Structure 1
Amino acid sequence: MERLNGRLAEHVIVVSYDAFSEDHFNQAKKLPNLQKLVADGVHTTKLKSVNPTMTYVVHSTMVTGVYPNKHGVSHNNPLQPFVKANNQAWHWYRDDLNVPTIYDVLKANGLTSAGILWPVTAKSSITYNLPEVVAINGENQALKVLKNGSPLYCLGLELKYGQMRKGTSQPYLDDFSTACAVDTIKRKQPNLMLLHLIDLDDTKHAYGTQNQAVDAVIERMDKRLGDIIKATEEAGIMEETVFIVLGDHGQFDVRFKVYLNNLLKQHGLIEETNEWRAYFQSTGGAAYLHIKDGDKEAEAHALAIMNDIVADSKYGVKKLYKRAELDELHVEPSIHYMLEATKGYSFEDDLSDEDVVDLTARGEKYATHGYTTEQENYRCNFIISGKNIKANAQVGEIEMVDVAPTIACILGVKLNGVDGRSLDEVFKDN
């Protein structure tokens, strides 16, 4: 390996291709830009995510190299019982993480970073930061971005490219994000670029995992990758750049939505006033049981209800996890019980008129994630290509905790206390 200034490459561009899982790799790799990255680099379709397989949880692991039980982000949202989804706060802020990130270490070593809609980065140390934050409860979106990102940088991007967006609708949002990334690569040439693209995830949620809408996204994504590669060429940095393209989780098609909190309410653990002693917070493919502090009676009652739910096939519960098993999954330690859904089922937080809703009977399509990582056909794709990376090679199973240590190795910095390892097998031999 050739190292200059202690680095294998001067630039790393990470494209988080949200929901890019093994079931769509063969389709995507036939398209010209991903095909080139695969041919010039190393890939696997066996990137193992972390539990629960939710975007903010996984992206926190990508930049810290540790499991959720250490970094502290256990869900997209802090617990907010009975708050409607569009009014819920998310784990937007860097302070929600308990450990150092790769971009913190880069800053400490005099290197630069950029983030475009990367989760859990509001008010972070990223040099050029357009964070993923959303206005709720009457907030102003533009002001929230400026307050939590790099103000002049964000303002400049908004003035140049803001007209491309139509709220959070796709494909406009990812086209905007890609334009911002291209502009940043050309003008700022950061040592690390973190780009989060959401089009595929949004489309799978809305239409299911296999349809023409998903096919169209995969085509769009390849064009976006091409725009990013071209930007490095025009900036004169392509020969000193490593590209990483990876998914964060898979998705499964859902026929039945199950409203678990209905059952707690029927048994008196949730009141008509929405006062609660026990509450299920859904991850989609699983649900955490929360108990009011010290309420042992409610815990025993809820455990009995969960055992009944598991025994009744109509609720689609695959397994009840207790704390010892959650330790093995590296789930955040405040969670004592979790139910996982069977494929074809998902869990919802809301109270509903029906305990179980058949989406097929309603003519609806839906897919989701949040299941445990130990599922067939649920691994993610990982492609790494560029300076000092082997060509046309494959690796086997790797883990999401390996991403940050690998970036650190490429950029010649030390990220301490990680659970993962640097993927040294992807680098060219000396």
Structure 2
Amino acid sequence: MKSASLFEIVAARCWNVLNEGKTFTPVFVLSVFLIANGFTVDPLQFGQALLVTLPLFVVHYIFDFPLHLRWFLVVPLAAFVALSSHWNNGLLVWALGLYAFFTVFFWGTLYYHLRIGTTWWNFTRIWKLFLKNTDSTSGNVFEQLPKVFLLLLVFDWVYGALGGGVAVQSPAGGFAGWIESFGTLYAGFVAVVTLYSWLVHRLFFTWKPKEYEDSTSNAQVAEAKAKRVVVIVIDGCRKERFEEADAPFLNHLRRTGVYYHQMETVYPARTVVCFSSMFTGTYPREHGIQSNMVWKLGVRVESIFDKLKQQGKKGVLFGCAHLIDAFGDYVESFTAVEKNDIVDHKIMARAKEIMRRENPDLMVIQMIAVDQTGHSRGVMYPEYLEKIKESDRLIQDFYEWMDREGILEDTVVVVMADHGQGNGIGGHGHLDEGERFVPFLINGPCIQQGMEVKEHRSIVSLAPTIAYLLGVPFPDYSRGPVLVEAIGTVHSEGVTA
């Protein structure tokens, strides 16, 4: 299997600009305005209009409107129309048409067909999935469209008032005249929208996971409990679908190890964010990765990979190009431009090669076919269960290969998801139904057998638990408690209990 090329790494970052909702909104609004006006706008007036509307763009960048909060976006839109009496049917039709084209045909059909081999007829299903989508991406229809409509109408109103259009009569004096005529009204509107957005989040945004306040302190690292830890992440695996799937080997690992029923992901539940929390032991506000769109490369706190390196040990994260943005040289990447029916087969085959070559103390493997199936075909369809079944067979093959190679001895295996997936296009980010709790099992010679843990835990416990098992210090900002209840008496020769 090929590694991710430099082109793919750059392309993945560019795609995130359009995929992540925060960055998509301003890019799409300005693009629609230019297209609708035939790219014949006056540059000076366009720049002045952008300067005037910039505070409103910033407000909509700062404030997500997760889940049911998105319905509050209708109020500022209605208020602006009522105050300004400004409406532009043609502009909004352009916005709606281009948005439908981007999501349903470009993203949902062409992009998925070229990248993972989804059918050319995917548009016949995916349009329905987008209407159910509630995540933090550009595909969140009922969050993006109110934001887009408001920003477009405000921008068009300002631009027209400056003399660039026919919808609003231009005041005398150009930009200075606009400030004199409309500045106070507009400034008041922006201030009210800002306060309104803050209040909505303060009063109604109540489902963000509660964080551990203290540093990891429920265990002291001593001698290693295991020789090696292997973490297999089934990206985007929804917990209840995992439990419904035909997965006999993973069920065997559950029965002979420890399974967590309330292992919670972090907010926002985006892949790079979750991996960063999993392997630093802390939250986005500390490790600095707030979405898949990474503005400053690298987590800004120590990771478990750093701690292993300091102790003369080695950790390898075998994953997609996005994860390089968080963990840099610790990532051995694979290309995600591959048919979805074979991508995990190639990932697991290459993982064997890396294990032989590097012999790491910590090996992390990201499997992506389940996640991609959820995004392209939906989580509530048979294809999603089939991909979990395929993951089960591939993990069994890898596990048996480790056994034959003598790698499995004194090795702890963790199988988990970084986040779940919501209804619709299998979105994740806002912690909708199906996103919050993830499958998590741990198995090995020093792990309890046949235990089910029903108390709440968090994926930030992964890094300190790995450190505890391998006998290295916790990462410096680690907050997750070690999963000590899963660790029992060691039966293998040569490993200290």
Q: Does 1:253 align with 2:423?
A: yes
**Cα distance in 1 between the residues matched to 2:351 and 2:317:** 8
Shift of the 384–124 alpha-carbon distance from structure 1 to 2, 3 Å rule, reads same
When the two structures are superposed, what TM-score results if normalisation uses the length of structure 1? Answer: 0.58
Q: CA RMSD in A?
A: 2.4
Shift of the 235–376 alpha-carbon distance from structure 1 to 2, 3 Å rule, reads closer
Displacement of 1:421 in angstroms is 1.4
What do residues 15-49 of structure 1 show as CA deviations (whole Å, max 9, x unaligned)? 11111222113224x52321221122101131111
Partner of 2:151: none
Partner of 2:359: 189
Partner of 2:488: 428
Q: Which has the higher strand share?
A: 1
SS state at 2:359 partner: coil
**Cα distance in 2 between the residues matched to 1:36 and 1:246:** 15
Q: CA contact under 8 A between 2:423 and 2:434: conserved in structure 1?
A: no
Of 310, 328, 334, the residue aligned with 1:124 is: 328
**Cα distance in 2 between the residues matched to 1:65 and 1:369:** 20
Displacement of 1:387 in angstroms is 2.1
Q: CA contact under 8 A between 2:264 and 2:437: conserved in structure 1?
A: yes
When the two structures are superposed, what TM-score results if normalisation uses the length of structure 2? Answer: 0.51
Of 306, 310, 316, the residue aligned with 1:114 is: 316
Partner of 2:459: 400
Displacement of 1:53 in angstroms is 0.7
- Which residue identity does 1:70 align to in structure 2? E
Output aligned runs, 1:119-268, within 5 Å: 119-121=322-324, 124-126=328-330, 129-131=331-333, 167-254=337-424
What do residues 233-266 of structure 1 show as CA deviations (whole Å, max 9, x unaligned)? 1221212110001111121223xxxxxxxxxxxx
Q: CA contact under 8 A between 1:186 and 1:234: conserved in structure 2?
A: no
Displacement of 1:376 in angstroms is 6.7
**Cα distance in 1 between the residues matched to 2:280 and 2:315:** 15
Partner of 2:445: 387
Partner of 1:22: 239
Of 426, 448, 451, the residue aligned with 1:367 is: 426
Q: CA contact under 8 A between 2:311 and 2:472: conserved in structure 1?
A: yes
How many residue pairs end up in the alignment? 267
Q: Which has the higher helix share?
A: 2
Gaps of 5+ in 2: 1-220, 490-496
Q: CA contact under 8 A between 2:235 and 2:418: conserved in structure 1?
A: yes
For CA contacts below 8 A with separation 6 or more, give which structure has more relative contact order.
1
Displacement of 1:124 in angstroms is 3.3
Of 286, 295, 305, the residue aligned with 1:70 is: 286
Computing the radius of gyration from Cα coordinates, the structure with the larger value is 2
Output aligned runs, 1:405-424, within 5 Å: 405-415=464-474, 416-424=476-484
Displacement of 1:133 in angstroms is 7.3
Shift of the 376–181 alpha-carbon distance from structure 1 to 2, 3 Å rule, reads closer
- Which residue identity does 2:412 align to in structure 1? V
Shift of the 235–108 alpha-carbon distance from structure 1 to 2, 3 Å rule, reads same
**Cα distance in 2 between the residues matched to 1:20 and 1:383:** 13
**Cα distance in 1 between the residues matched to 2:237 and 2:453:** 17
Partner of 2:298: 96
**Cα distance in 2 between the residues matched to 1:399 and 1:370:** 16
Partner of 1:378: 436
Give the % identical residues.
28
Partner of 2:258: 42
SS state at 2:324 partner: coil
Gaps of 5+ in 1: 80-90, 135-166, 255-365
What do residues 104-142 of structure 1 show as CA deviations (whole Å, max 9, x unaligned)? 11111111222211553367353xx423678xxxxxxxx
